């Protein structure tokens, strides 16, 4: 009779349902595996004249017609918060003196009606609802750990006194905008109510009385088959989980006569009819429409839209840090250069900034200065050229790193530039810098003792100056030295009507953005090639400064 396998996973499972919880139906099947009634069975064909029929020792039916072998198996379908009385409750509430609360008197009337109508149909399986006294005691006595002898801490005792129950008076509290977000002088009652999670919660226990025949109604034989918890958000917690395709659960009773029981829990809730599903979808559609209107009312009609064919770029940036520089007390001068064609910015917009002077700290082998300097700007791009050959340009961020010492001597530590990301989102950019240098020790001595060094008159010369109109820009003769790097964190937002329009303008603007992305990739490749050229130039200078006996005719160093 025993199953080939058992389900040992008795952990809880969490479900979420949009349907009312009152539609929940569970089928619980309970069966005894090791039964003493098997000892009373003997086939009639094996009975001899000299043998006493063991069936004569079987207990006789009771006055209500109930036989003990009927206790071997039971199946009950239970609804949410449906009350099924146990034998203990039947015996208790029949005594009117034991009824103290209004709920006790209500249970007494229900039990009397059941007795008049032929008695209760359930024998061993019963329930404790959210209003029963057992729910309070179970929540108060639950353990926090798996220790055999657990001593509850002060926090556990205080938490046990806070019951998470449905509070109708506070049902709309979460949807009301509170005027006071911060309570500067909270009272003890306020702390008690807000210190713990107080999500409205209802609990239900499905129990089983596993006592032997004739001893039903004793508390020591009660066992929890399943625990159900439902909160106001439609989250249903079941412990243990529904049986489904898994094996049944098992319970072994303790005491002189150990018995083995098996039980299964199945969800037998009826499926919604097509008409009900359609009506529910209409209700949700109406609800979401009202919520959308509410959100639109919060935004208002003052939301500024861009003109057709324009793209607005918002950048919230931060100068994070600078590292790898020779001197201390660094500050960064930066500015954004907009292309001369099709780009513009508001008159009040400031496209440049200077960070504070920051002392460096050692981080490994490098010295790092953390600025955390925020800045913001916006710019607009108006797409006027419809030709496919027109390649739009994108704004460029230039930076200049300087140092200032105790004697107010400043030095240029490096120049750098990077193109702003052409895609919206969060980006972290590291800009490598360089500075112009002179040959010889005199220039370095001057830089060390009195400060000052070679500077660029036009910072846009770091890339291709906006004033350059030729085809080729030559930097031949400019000697540079690689210095450190500056880290920027940029949060880019783009606004355009083309993002929500399905006309040809949207396709046109999308092609512009695609070309901008390709131009950004071309700029990245150009930066890599420039870095390789500078590295090759430094290696050539290093070989020229070495003694000739250390360099082979092929130009490589001799070990």
- In this predicted model, what pLDDT tens digit does every residue of 165-207 receive, in sequence order? 444 444 333 344 445 567 778 888 777 666 655 567 889 999 9
Beta bridge partners of 366: 363
- The count of residues in the chain is 559
Q: Tell me how crowded residue 226 is: count the other CB atoms within 10 A of its CB.
A: 21
Cβ atoms 343, 395 nearer than 8 A? yes
Q: How far is CA 172 from CA 169, 287, 477, in A?
A: 8, 17, 75
- In this predicted model, what pLDDT tens digit does every residue of 30-54 receive, in sequence order? 998 875 444 444 444 444 444 444 4
Q: Tell me how crowded residue 464 is: count the other CB atoms within 10 A of its CB.
A: 13
Which residue has tokens 């490589």? Answer: 556
Cβ atoms 83, 129 nearer than 8 A? yes
Burial degree of 439 (CB within 10 A; 0-12, 13-18, 19+) = exposed
For residue 68, which phi and psi values (nearest 5 degrees)? Answer: -65, -30
Q: By 3-state DSSP, what share of the chain in percent is helix, strand and coil, each rounded to 5?
A: 30, 30, 45
- Regarding beta strands 222-231 and 201-209, do their DSSP bridges make them parallel or antiparallel, or are they unpaired? antiparallel
Cβ atoms 379, 345 nearer than 8 A? yes
Give the rounded distance of the alpha carbon of 545 from its chain centre.
Answer: 59
Per-residue pLDDT of the chain (559 residues; tens, 9 = 90+): 444 578 888 888 999 887 888 889 999 999 988 754 444 444 444 444 444 444 444 444 444 444 555 567 899 999 999 999 998 888 888 888 888 888 889 999 999 998 888 888 888 999 999 888 776 555 555 566 666 667 777 666 666 555 444 444 443 333 444 455 677 788 887 776 666 555 678 899 999 998 887 778 888 888 999 999 998 888 999 999 998 888 899 998 877 777 889 999 999 988 878 888 888 889 889 999 999 888 888 877 777 777 777 888 999 999 999 998 888 889 999 999 988 778 888 888 889 999 999 999 988 888 899 999 999 999 988 876 655 455 568 899 999 999 988 777 888 889 999 999 988 999 999 999 998 887 777 777 777 766 777 778 888 888 877 777 788 888 887 888 889 999 999 999 988 877 666 455 555 555 555 555 554 445 444 554 455 555 566 666 666 665 555 444 444 444 3
Question: 473 Cβ partners below 8 Å, 6+ apart?
Answer: 464, 465
Give the C-alpha separation, 227 to 282, whole Å: 34
């Amino acid at each position: 009779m025993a199953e080939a396998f058992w389900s040992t996973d008795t952990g809880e499972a969490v479900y979420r349902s949009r349907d009312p919880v009152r539609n929940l139906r569970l089928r619980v099947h309970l069966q005894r595996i090791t039964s003493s009634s098997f000892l009373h069975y003997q086939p009639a064909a094996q009975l001899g004249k000299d043998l006493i029929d063991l069936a004569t020792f079987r207990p006789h039916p009771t006055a209500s017609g109930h036989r003990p072998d009927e206790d071997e198996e039971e199946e009950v379908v239970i609804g949410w918060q449906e009350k099924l009385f146990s034998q203990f409750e039947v015996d208790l509430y029949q005594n009117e003196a034991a009824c103290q609360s209004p709920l006790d008197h209500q249970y007494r009337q229900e039990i009397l009606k059941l007795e008049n109508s032929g008695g209760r149909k359930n024998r061993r399986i019963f329930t404790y609802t959210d209003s029963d006294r057992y729910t309070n005691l179970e929540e108060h006595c639950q353990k926090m750990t798996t220790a055999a002898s657990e001593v509850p801490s002060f926090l556990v005792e205080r938490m046990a006194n806070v019951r998470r129950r449905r509070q109708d008076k506070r049902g709309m509290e979460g949807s009301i905008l509170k005027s006071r977000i911060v309570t500067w002088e909270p009272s003890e009652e306020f702390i008690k109510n807000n210190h713990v999670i107080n999500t409205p919660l209802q609990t239900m226990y499905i129990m089983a009385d596993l006592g032997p025949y004739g001893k039903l109604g004793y508390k020591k034989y009660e066992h929890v088959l399943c625990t159900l918890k439902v909160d106001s958000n439609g989250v249903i917690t079941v412990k243990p989980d529904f049986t489904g395709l898994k094996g049944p659960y098992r319970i072994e009773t303790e005491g002189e006569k150990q018995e083995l029981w098996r039980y299964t829990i199945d969800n037998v809730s009826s499926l919604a009819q097509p008409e009900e599903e359609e009506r529910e979808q209409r209700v949700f559609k109406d609800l979401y429409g009202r919520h959308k209107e509410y959100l639109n009312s919060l935004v208002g009609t003052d939301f500024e839209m861009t003109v057709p064919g324009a793209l607005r770029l918002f950048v919230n940036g931060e100068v994070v840090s600078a590292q790898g520089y020779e001197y201390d007390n660094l500050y960064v001068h930066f500015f954004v250069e907009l292309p001369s064609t099709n780009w513009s910015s508001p008159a009040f917009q400031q496209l440049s900034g200077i960070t504070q002077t920051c002392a460096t700290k050692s981080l490994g082998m490098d010295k790092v200065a953390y600025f955390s300097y925020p800045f913001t700007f916006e710019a607009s791009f108006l797409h006027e050229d419809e030709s496919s050959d027109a390649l739009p340009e994108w704004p460029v961020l230039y930076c200049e790193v300087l140092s200032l010492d105790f004697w107010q001597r400043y030095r240029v530590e490096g120049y750098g530039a990077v193109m702003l990301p052409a895609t919206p989102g969060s980006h972290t950019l590291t800009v490598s810098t360089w500075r112009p240098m002179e040959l010889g020790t005199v220039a370095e001595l001057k830089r060390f003792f009195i400060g000052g060094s070679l500077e660029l008159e036009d910072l846009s010369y770091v890339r291709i100056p906006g004033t350059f109109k030729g085809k080729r820009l030559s930097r031949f003769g400019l000697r540079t030295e690689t210095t450190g790097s500056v880290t920027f964190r940029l949060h880019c937002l783009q606004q355009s009507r083309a993002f929500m329009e399905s006309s040809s303008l949207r396709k046109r603007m999308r092609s512009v953005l695609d070309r901008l992305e390709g131009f950004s990739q071309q700029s990245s490749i150009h930066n890599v090639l420039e870095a390789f050229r500078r590295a090759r130039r430094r290696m050539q200078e290093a070989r020229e400064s070495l003694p000739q006996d250390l360099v082979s005719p092929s130009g490589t160093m001799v070990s």
